[in-house]
A = this chain, B = another copy of it.
Amino acid sequence: MTKLVLHEYARSGNCYKIRLTAAHVGKVLERREYDIMKGETRTPAFLAHVNSNGRIPVLQDGERFLPESNAACFYLADGSPLIPEDAFERADMLRWMFWEQYNHEPNVATLRFWHGWIGEENFSEVQKVLHPTKRAAGEAALALMDEHLAERRFFVGGRLTLADIALYPYTAACEEGGFELSRYPNVQGWLARVAAAPGHIPAEA
Contacts and interface: CB of A to CB of B under 8 A. Distances in A.
Interface in A38-88: 52-53, 61, 64, 66-72, 74-75, 78-79, 87-88
A137 B68 CA distance: 17
B147 A68 contact: no
A167 B63 CA distance: 26
Nearest to A53: B144
Interface stretch (A93-101, A178-186, A193-201): A93-101
Interface residues of A, number: 38
A1 to B, nearest CB: 8
Contact of A126 (B90, B101, B102, B133): B133
Contacts of A66: 88, 91-92, 95
B95 A71 contact: yes
A103 interface: yes
Copies of this subunit: 2
A173 B13 CA distance: 33
A103 B75 CA distance: 21
Contacts of A68: 94-95, 98-99, 102
Contact of A74 (B53, B61, B94, B130): B94
Nearest to A91: B75
22 contacts: A52-B148, A61-B88, A64-B88, A68-B102, A69-B98, A70-B94, A71-B91, A71-B95, A71-B97, A71-B98, A74-B94, A75-B87, A75-B88, A78-B87, A79-B87, A101-B101, A101-B102, A102-B105, A126-B129, A126-B133, A129-B130, A130-B130
